Amino acid sequence: MSSTRATNRDEIILAHVKRHGLGLEIGPAHAPIAPKAAGFHVHVLDHASREQLIEKYREHGVDLTKIEPVDFIWDGRPFPELVGRTCTYDWIIASHVIEHSTDLVGFLNDCDALLKSDGVLSLAIPDMRWCFDHFRAPSSLGRVIDAAQTGRRAHSAGSAAEYFLDVVQKGGRLGWSKGETGEYALRHSVGEAKRAMTEKTAYLDIHEWCFTPTSFRLLVRDLLDLELIQLKELAFHPTSGHEFYVTLSRGGERPPQARLEMLQQIANELAERAQ
């Protein structure tokens, strides 16, 4: 989906990152923001190995040489257990990853546990309105909390069905900018949805969660208010192309808007999607 990304996206994502500190990039694949090759002192975590990622992206027309070795292969364990340490990293970057997490609260708390007390989690997140999630529903707080209570390590049959039945492309693109024209087309068949629902052997790499900028910001604030997480918003950068950016940290702040105002803003964002 790289065609509709801001030209200065690396600067936005790195804005609060101590560049000489130790970092972790989760799911960099073929588009690392902070590669070892560029001198970053970084570890890589992904659910797949470098070799598996190369196979996965071979037909995607991307630069496979950018895929760096994966230091920690996620196998369902909490990140601190997988990595074998806590309070270690100055920064964590996850670009187009959090929406894949099976348990979003677990993901945020695992990152929090890995970060030093002043560490930051820098997220680039697809805006559901302008990518293949266009026709899906924004993720509810209830589903996020329920996934946390079961500590889900794989996508549920329901999530798989919803994803495979509803994702689209527009004019052949998986991500686009507001106002770009093109015909919508469904990407998958009912048969693929049925197969995905019963897939037991492999980790299904799908979007579990869909957000508008405000639905994500309100979700984080609600999780904070409900004492389910301790990370707070340090920075927000609105949608550019098909993604928006949020940096979280213990030292961040709770967005001060009234809840009703944020709910109204989400409704306005969703109304914009039809334009």
Ligand X SMILES: C[S@@+](CC[C@H](N)C(=O)[O-])C[C@H]1O[C@@H](n2cnc3c(N)ncnc32)[C@H](O)[C@@H]1O
Within residues 12-51, the interface with ligand X by CB under 6 A covers 26-29, 31, 45-48
CB of 237 to ligand X, least distance (A): 15
Restricted to residues 104-133, the positions that interact with ligand X (CB under 6 A) are none
Residue closer to ligand X (CB basis): 115 or 218:
115
With binding defined as CB under 6 A, does residue 101 bind ligand X? yes
Cβ proximity to ligand X: between 125 and 223 the closer is 125
User: For residues 44 and 224, which CB has a smaller minimum distance to ligand X in the complex?
Assistant: 44
Query: Which residues neighbour 178 within 8 Å (Cβ) at sequence distance 6 or greater?
Result: 129, 130, 239, 272, 275
- How many residues sit close enough to ligand X to count as binding (CB under 6 A)? 16
Task: Report, in Å, the least distance between residue 254 CB and ligand X.
Answer: 27
Helices (runs of H) and strands (runs of E) counted in the chain: 9, 9
Q: Does 159 bind ligand X (CB under 6 A)?
A: no
d(CA 99, CA 159): 12
The pair of three-digit structure tokens given for residue 114, joined into one six-digit string = 């890995």
Q: Given the complex with ligand X, which of 101 and 239 has the nearer CB atom?
A: 101
CA-to-CA distance for 194 and 171, rounded, in angstroms? 26
Distance separating alpha carbons of residues 150 and 164, to the nearest angstrom: 23
Please tell me whether residue 100 binds ligand X under the rule CB under 6 A: yes
- For ligand X, which is the closer residue by CB, 100 or 237? 100
Query: For residues 19 and 134, what is the distance between their CA atoms, to the nearest angstrom?
Result: 35
Q: Report the site for ligand X in 71-90 (rule: CB under 6 A).
A: 74
C-alpha angle 109/39/90, rounded to 5°? 25
Q: What's the CA gap between 128 and 273, in Å, rounded?
A: 9
Chain residues in the site for ligand X (CB under 6 A):
26-29, 31, 45-48, 74, 95-97, 100-101, 205
